[in-house]
Amino acid sequence: MSWIVERLLIDRYRIKTTQPIDEDVWDRLIFLEKKIGTLYKEELVSDLEISVIKKMEENKSFSQIAYEMEMSRSTVTKIFRNACNRIAFYLGGYYTDDGFLDSLQENYGLSKEEVHKVYEKINSKYRHMI
């Protein structure tokens, strides 16, 4: 799973329009966008997945995308999450859940218990609320 890839793509519109810009988040988003383009050219991400990701860039909700693409919301969500997981797999490191959690622990000095709480939250049904 890749919570951080999901969050960067879901929050892309906000990240790009917020002032002042958080340069670390901006850099990670730009890197992610470039890598998605590369993965698409290598046919590791499908046309359908790219369509959903691009609609997310337009600040659309899963429900709006589902309506436009004439699919169920759960199908659109599944397509998006599967794409994010595949992207994270190819990028590795920070873009995977384990890499993200290691980064939190290293950069913020979180204890193992605190990291475990974050892990539980990003893998819960409330992951979208973080």
Residue 45 lies in a domain: yes
Domain that holds residue 66: 3-93
Looking at the 3D structure of the chain, how many domains does it have?
1
Residue 54 lies in a domain: yes
pLDDT digits (tens, 9 = 90+) for 69-120: 999 999 999 999 999 999 999 999 999 999 999 998 998 998 999 999 988 8
Residue 129 lies in a domain: no
- pLDDT value of position 122: 86
- CA distance to 68, 119, 121, per residue, from 87 (Å): 24, 19, 21
Q: Which residues contact 85 (CB under 8 A, 6 or more apart)?
A: 1, 2, 5
Predicted confidence band at 129 (pLDDT cuts at 50, 70, 90)?
low
Six-digit token pair at 91? 């990028």
pLDDT over 80 (residue 58): yes
